[in-house]
């Protein structure tokens, strides 16, 4: 079983952006849990973009999928978890998650990777 960390409001993206929204009554380690559809700010793409669903990996909370590390936003940024305590497990045989910030991708520039790592 593979596991991915839950994303919270304030977590970063590979474009140097920040998760701007979370579920107001669902806290994890003092911060709101982010769900699919919540907005992420992106300085690279200059705007706010929703977190996209991850097909084949259902992990519903309050009727919406929970955002987990490796998911992408509508602008192509990859979510980076700031905590490793709370994780969601997925059954074997599913495709690997989207690349984390350390992987090179044609949607990520080196400057954004370095900014996200800070």
The yes or no reply on domain 1-118 and CATH 3.90.230.10 is: no
**Contact present, 40 and 13 (Cβ < 8 Å):** yes
- Under 8 Å between Cβ of 32 and 22: yes
* 100 CB neighbour count, 10 Å cutoff: 15
Q: Kindly report, residue by residue over 73-111, the tens digit of the pLDDT.
A: 999 999 999 998 888 876 655 444 444 443 333 445 556
Residue 79's beta-bridge partner residues?
Answer: 13
Q: What is the pLDDT of residue 36?
A: 95
**Stated pTM of the model:** 0.73
Q: What's residue 104's pLDDT?
A: 37
Does the pLDDT value for residue 57 go beyond 90? Answer: no
Is residue 56 scored above 80 in pLDDT?
no
Residue 85 pLDDT: 87
Q: Could you report the per-residue pLDDT of 10-39, keeping only the tens digit for each?
A: 999 999 999 999 999 999 999 999 999 999
């Amino acid at each position: 079983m593979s596991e991915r960390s839950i994303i919270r409001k304030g977590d970063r993206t590979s474009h140097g952006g920040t998760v701007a929204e979370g579920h107001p009554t669902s806290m994890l380690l003092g911060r709101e849990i982010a769900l699919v559809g919540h907005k992420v700010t992106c300085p690279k793409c200059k705007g706010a973009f929703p977190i996209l669903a991850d097909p084949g990996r259902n992990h519903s909370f309050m009727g919406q999928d929970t955002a987990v590390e490796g998911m992408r936003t509508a602008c192509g940024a990859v979510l980076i978890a700031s905590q490793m305590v709370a994780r969601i497990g997925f059954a074997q045989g599913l495709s690997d998650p989207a690349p984390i910030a350390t992987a090179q991708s044609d949607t990520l520039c080196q400057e954004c990777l370095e900014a996200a790592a800070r």
